[in-house]
Structure 1
Amino acid sequence: MAEYAHPEVLVDTAWVADHLNDPQVRLVESNEDILLYNQGHIPGAVKIDWISDLNDPVVRDYLDKERFEQLLAAKGISNDTTVVFYGDKNNWWATYAFWVFKLFGHKDARILNGGRAKWIAEGRELTRDVPSYPQGSYSAPERDDATIRAFRDEVKEHIKKNDVALVDVRSPQEYSGERTHMPEYPQEGTLRGGHIPTAVSIPWAQAVKEDSTFKSPEDLRELYGSKGVTSDKDVIAYCRIGERSSHTWFVLTYLLGYPQVRNYDGSWTEWGNGVGLPIEKTYKG
């Protein structure tokens, strides 16, 4: 892992096993399948639900500064805690939670390379015991919606420029317009199929190997560079609601070291339903 641009953000299963009882480390499990945690999780791990914990219950947005502070304190997390995220489906939702933590500037956030699948494949211990930790003390800045997050109007301006890259990380069928969503994902009511003009198709899971660990830096550079997504560009990634694209954001930012990458979390559920917003299709059926 030392060959990545920021190897410090990745830990392996052996590292996690060695730090299960480290009071300075908090394991956070975040899954698409919200029932998995109760079926068995890494000892000491707390659960963060991407819907109920990270999202505002009324406004389509993330929790605010005060609720973020309350959430982390309740999980026994303080400002100086090393938080290690992991989850199902190639760490898809783990990187989403990681991204939200970075919106509030949490300093030491890491990803378990290989996630839940790697831990289980190695026959390592799982437990159903839910840990209880002393209340943490957390002080967060206001949420940073400018540095690593993109909004609809910014995307509209983005696609007019020459030194930018827009990455659609959904499936080829969603990108082409053949489907408005894939059957294995929740249907969130998108009216149109297709993609944002100028976007290239690089499905998010192409960045990982069969064992759910990340591909090598060389393979990742080839994957993105072959589609014109290079480090000299201002990059925006999107999917349906910003979850799959957070995985691509993580890869480009931390594994390849791209200096300017943002996640458009409004993504296709906003763009595909937006009045007056242009789309493109390649599906002719």
Structure 2
Amino acid sequence: MLRPSAFLFTVAAALLLSAAPAAAQEPAAKPAQGSPAKDNPAKDTAAKDTAAKDTAAKDSPLVSTEWLEKNLDAKNLRIVEVSVEPGVFERGHIPNAQNVAWHTDLVETVSRDIAGPEKFTALARRLGIDRDTTVVLYGDNNNWFAAWGAWVFAQYGLTDTVKLLDGGRKKWEAEKRPLDTRTAEVPASTFTAQAPSGKLRARFADVLAVAKKERDEQILDIRSPDEFSGKIIAPAGIQELAIRAGHIPGSVNIPWAKAVNPDGTLKSKEELKALYAAAGIDGSKPIITSCRIGERSSHSWFVLSRILGYDARNYDGSWTEYGNAVGVPVVNLAGTVWGGK
């Protein structure tokens, strides 16, 4: 007969032996909840896609309507509408967007010039924009004035952080994405503008030197063929006119719209390169973009400079400056004479 102590030892040993096989056969521990590699492959793929899109948006001068809708509430994002039609912003805009009037906020209202440092400082602070803020600009009229805004922003050092919404308001509305009528409230920034860079802006003397073949640069006139040929001085209904019709000698004509798809988005980089190369513009020489007052040409400047990486400047004086100048060479293929009206 076993003593009590021996009996207890025997029972304990038996229990340990019986438990050993069970422990050996126990399945491996499950991965912790939320482990993307094994717990939810679909979620992991979606996360990678989102990261890829975020990287693409960061590196690209354009953002898609899809990306913007998914990032409307991003903390360091400012959405800015720059439209020309009166009241369009108030009738409904992209949620969290702020309104900028190109003809008062982005220019001086007495002299003909872009907004000076003091004025741009006040604008950037009101919009809550610092040097590390991602800014998405969009607007009506094919993003003309949004591109003008990008050009002005770039002169104050805000280049890579400033994007255009590909397709602008037109595409956003066509896709029935959300609109809002409330005014976004953002904290003011501490941005301070220095003197604008002159590297992105062409002046009258610059284009005159090209016209006289004193400078080896290319002028890209992006107006309509009728404006370029001199058949008309300006599109119908336009008040800002020139006294002479035609174009700057040596310039080539590629209307801005040739760079755009039917839905308002820009064509692919390869298509854009081919478009301009066909007219001899391949980035091998500095380029000056020109139109009537500089807004359409800022659209082409954005394409050439920000997307293709060419050395391009925008001539905001454009035809309303050059076509009103005295004693300058002009090419007027149509022979149109100003009627004095």
* Same fold flag (TM > 0.5): yes
Aligned twin of 1:26: 78
Aligned twin of 2:281: 229
Q: Distance in 2 between matches of 1:121 and 1:104?
A: 33
Q: Distance in 1 between matches of 2:148 and 2:112?
A: 16
Percent identity, aligned pairs only, is 43
Contact 2:210/2:216 (8 A) holds in 1: no
Q: Distance in 2 between matches of 1:138 and 1:13?
A: 28
Aligned twin of 1:192: 244
Q: Which has the larger radius of gyration?
A: 2
Contact 1:238/1:264 (8 A) holds in 2: yes
Q: Distance in 1 between matches of 2:328 and 2:144?
A: 28
**Structure 2 counterpart of 1:13, which letter?**
T
Structure with larger RCO (C-alpha < 8 A, sep 6+) = 1
Contact 1:165/1:233 (8 A) holds in 2: yes
Aligned twin of 2:97: 45
How does 1:1-285 map onto structure 2 within 5 Å? 8-107=60-159, 108-145=161-198, 147-159=199-211, 160-161=213-214, 163-183=216-236, 186-258=238-310, 260-284=311-335
- Deviations along 1:183-224, one digit per CA (max 9) or x if unpaired, are 15x320311110000111111111100000001122211211
SS of match in other structure, 1:150: coil
Q: Distance in 2 between matches of 1:23 and 1:211?
A: 29
**Structure 2 counterpart of 1:74, which letter?**
R
Deviation at 1:164, TM superposition (A): 2.1
Q: Distance in 2 between matches of 1:7 and 1:279?
A: 41
SS of match in other structure, 1:52: helix
**Structure 2 counterpart of 1:195, which letter?**
H
**Structure 2 counterpart of 1:180, which letter?**
I
**Structure 1 counterpart of 2:154, which letter?**
K
Q: Distance in 2 between matches of 1:194 and 1:284?
A: 8
Q: Distance in 2 between matches of 1:283 and 1:187?
A: 21
Q: Distance in 1 between matches of 2:59 and 2:285?
A: 22
- Deviations along 1:79-131, one digit per CA (max 9) or x if unpaired, are 22111001112211111000000011114101111111111111100011111
Contact 1:88/1:117 (8 A) holds in 2: yes
Contact 2:209/2:215 (8 A) holds in 1: no
**Structure 2 counterpart of 1:73, which letter?**
R
RMSD value, Cα: 1.7
Deviation at 1:161, TM superposition (A): 4.8
Contact 1:79/1:139 (8 A) holds in 2: no
Contact 1:34/1:49 (8 A) holds in 2: no
Deviation at 1:7, TM superposition (A): 5.3
Structure 2: any 5+ residue segments left out of the alignment? 1-52, 337-341
- Deviations along 1:7-35, one digit per CA (max 9) or x if unpaired, are 52111111111211112000010112132
Relative to total residues, which structure has the larger helix share, 1 or 2?
2
Contact 2:291/2:319 (8 A) holds in 1: yes
Q: Distance in 2 between matches of 1:57 and 1:216?
A: 37
The normalised TM-score by structure 1 is: 0.94
